């Protein structure tokens, strides 16, 4: 793999279970290099027979602090969003069961990737949130996937407030499925009991069937929101100001325009 290093892939259970680790701690930032590496893994999984599940996790104490804030700048954001949305499309089109093992902070783009997974296992100390609104922007992928996963009212609360949920709150909201001291081990145990006995081919078709039609809707919505973000939002003062203020570590000066 050309981007080996920013991620680490461990193929377990005779290659049926791929442990895919975001490998740039402390924050495991989803910059374009990381996004391309992850997309390549899902593309490889689609082309590899016998893969039954991929488990995503972050190296170190945190899953991910989210997408690279510098890459949100006006001159870079179009390329960043296109890369990120291609990653989401690869997750869906791989048609492989996707699990997430979440420790520590799981924010922004990190949570958006998790929202595309089938089952989410979280440590008791996990914190999950969409802080984009605090930077004067919004989260396109979360706007599409979170209402599907946790219901519209809870998703709207998360995206509009910018707050984070602890593991218990996220479980109650439907964002987390299982809380475990060792979420990786919990994900592996789930795989061994519920997925390993089945045919990889059958699981592949089952994932396709369960998400039939949804992928097409998600892809179309991504195109629409990507255009809104780049052509409309990034032409506003507050979107540019929010990103620059964050990078300068100062309070934003909103003009509400």
**Cα–Cα distance measured from residue 58 to residue 216, given in angstroms and rounded to the nearest whole number:** 29
Average the pLDDT over 244-253 and give the result. Answer: 98
Cβ-contact 36, 169 below 8 angstroms: no
Question: How confident is the prediction for the chain on average, in pLDDT?
Answer: 97
What burial class does residue 193 get, using C-beta atoms within 10 Å of its C-beta: 0-12 exposed, 13-18 middle, 19+ buried?
exposed
pLDDT of residue 37: 98
Whether residue 209 is contained in a domain is answered as no
Residue 43 in any domain: the answer is yes
Residue-by-residue DSSP string for 32-89: HHHHHHHHHHHHHHHTSTT--EEEEEESTT-SB--B-SGGGSTTTHHHHHHHHHHHHH
How many structural domains is the chain composed of?
1
**Domain carrying residue 56:** 7-182
Asked if the bond preceding 69 is cis, omega within 30° of 0, the reply is: no
For residue 255, is it within any domain?
Answer: no
Beta pairing, strands 119-122 & 178-179: parallel
pLDDT (tens digit per residue) in 14-65: 999 999 999 999 999 999 999 999 999 999 999 999 999 999 999 999 999 9
**Interval 65-106: pLDDT, tens:** 999 999 999 999 999 999 999 999 999 999 999 999 999 999
CATH code, domain carrying 22: 3.90.226.10
Q: What's the pLDDT tens digit per position in 184-242?
A: 999 999 999 999 999 999 999 999 999 999 999 999 999 999 999 999 999 999 999 99
Q: Is 135 inside any structural domain?
A: yes
Q: Phi and psi dihedrals of 48, rounded to 5?
A: -110, 120
pLDDT confidence band for 1 (50 / 70 / 90): very low
Q: Quick one: angle between helices 152-161 and 140-150, nearest 10? A: 140
């Amino acid at each position: 793999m050309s981007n080996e290093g920013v991620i680490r892939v461990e193929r377990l259970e005779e290659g049926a279970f791929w442990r895919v680790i975001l490998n740039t701690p402390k924050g495991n930032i989803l910059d374009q290099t990381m996004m391309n590496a992850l997309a390549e893994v899902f593309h490889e999984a689609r082309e590899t027979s016998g893969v039954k599940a991929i488990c995503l996790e972050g190296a170190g104490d945190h899953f991910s602090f989210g997408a690279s804030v510098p890459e949100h700048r006006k001159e870079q954001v179009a390329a960043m969003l296109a890369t990120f949305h291609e990653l989401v499309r690869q997750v869906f089109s791989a048609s492989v069961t996707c699990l997430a093992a979440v420790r520590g902070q799981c924010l922004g783009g990190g949570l958006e990737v998790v929202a595309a997974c089938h089952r989410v296992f979280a440590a008791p100390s996990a914190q999950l949130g969409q802080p984009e609104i605090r930077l004067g922007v919004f989260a396109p992928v979360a706007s599409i996937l979170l209402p599907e996963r946790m219901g519209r009212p809870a998703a709207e609360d998360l995206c509009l407030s910018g707050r984070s949920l602890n593991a218990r709150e996220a479980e109650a909201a439907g964002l987390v499925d299982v809380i475990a001291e060792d979420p990786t081990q919990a994900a592996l145990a789930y795989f061994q009991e519920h997925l390993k006995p089945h045919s990889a081919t059958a699981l592949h078709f089952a994932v396709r069937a369960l998400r039939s039609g949804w992928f097409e809707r998600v892809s179309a919505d991504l195109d629409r929101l990507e255009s809104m973000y780049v052509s409309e939002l990034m032409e506003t003062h507050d979107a540019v100001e929010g990103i620059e203020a964050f990078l300068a570590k100062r309070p934003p000066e909103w003009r509400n325009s």
